[in-house]
Amino acid sequence: MRAEFSFYDDWPKIPDPKWAAGERTLEPRIGWITYLPPDLAARAKYPADVEVETLDDGAALVTLCEEPFGKGDAAGLARLHALEAALRPLQS
């Protein structure tokens, strides 16, 4: 689960011949607010400037900033790309 951006569609992909396009998008996708299930949340390393709320079951809600941001917000995009890089080892 995530709250996405209407302007962002540069999701990380990997080759996968089982998919019609020959590649597939990595999951979980990262958004303005991203839900990580307990197994991923326990292994995640987060950038310092994101907010992480740990839920009772060990899952996490990771929020990039208080308010949604647009494609012209360099700081917001930097946080997004930092979170993508940090979570990349967990994506499949």
Q: pLDDT truncated to tens, each residue of the chain (92 aa)?
A: 566 666 666 777 878 888 888 888 778 888 888 999 999 999 999 999 999 999 999 999 999 888 877 888 898 889 988 998 999 898 88
Q: In this structure, what token pair is assigned to residue 28?
A: 């979980």
Other beta carbons within 10 angstroms of residue 66's beta carbon come to: 7
Q: Considering the entire predicted model, what is its pTM?
A: 0.79
Q: What is the pLDDT of residue 52?
A: 97
The number of helix segments (H) and strand segments (E) in the chain equals 2, 6
Q: What is the pLDDT of residue 53?
A: 97
Q: In this structure, what token pair is assigned to residue 33?
A: 């607010």
Separation CA 18–CA 87 (nearest Å): 24
Separation CA 90–CA 6 (nearest Å): 24
Q: What is the pLDDT of residue 57?
A: 98
